[in-house]
Structure 1
């Protein structure tokens, strides 16, 4: 009986492990050219390709971590103090994302007259390859995941991607 229960639990976890890039179940709304290994945690902090940003905004980094939770909200929030970074990081499970954020922030160069902001842009089976930064009608900064096609790998755990951006202070 116990082996059967374990098998059923494993099957349920596999079926529920993928969320969409918009926080809903199903296919992710953003994708990447490569997906994380299904057996090992994924961690990447890479400088994204140039382009895809609104005038004056700079996409500094995309940070992806497996199985850390978080909720997609493309509206960027200021990360201008240790308290703001701690509050933003509190949504993630474990310390992996917080450590990756601290590492990325320690090497990020924010140009004079700009403010550092961050947003969770995807939670799903794949990671976006890039992001766009725009202004919404209400003036808020919106960071949207951009990427390749569907992943061909089986999704065992969702991957959370955070975008770090520098935005002119008058616009933030």
Structure 2
């Protein structure tokens, strides 16, 4: 994993100023974690690791693309682990969104829109935490997603009619302009 990714994560989070006090508290915690762990962006970091996700919205801004995650069994935004080739968090989120949606021409806003820490047992097979950094991604007009092997289902959901059990997406969706 490149030190460039770690440096970018520090720079990205140091520059971002969320309006919400709870998000500011998380931002400070992320920066402390990054200062303490050079391996904070690697999935092998057992105490937890940064992940990058993308809230993909339609060109019209009225729908979001969600994946039915096979391990979690719920509809979630696209995203995942940082890879050795990633040099920026935004780049990792965009790579994940492109891989998981099959949509070319996605455009990402370089500034995070939301942070979330959640416990999970990921590919290490051990309980850990994901320190998720979430970005806004816009799809081109008439984008047609193609489900990858990382998803049980993939579809556009109107922002006014999300699937059940997605209440945890509301804080993320509330960041939309």
- TM class by shorter chain equals under 0.3
- Normalization by structure 2: what TM-score? 0.27
The structure with the largest alpha-carbon Rg is: 1
- Normalization by structure 1: what TM-score? 0.28
Higher relative contact order (CA 8 A, sep 6+): 1
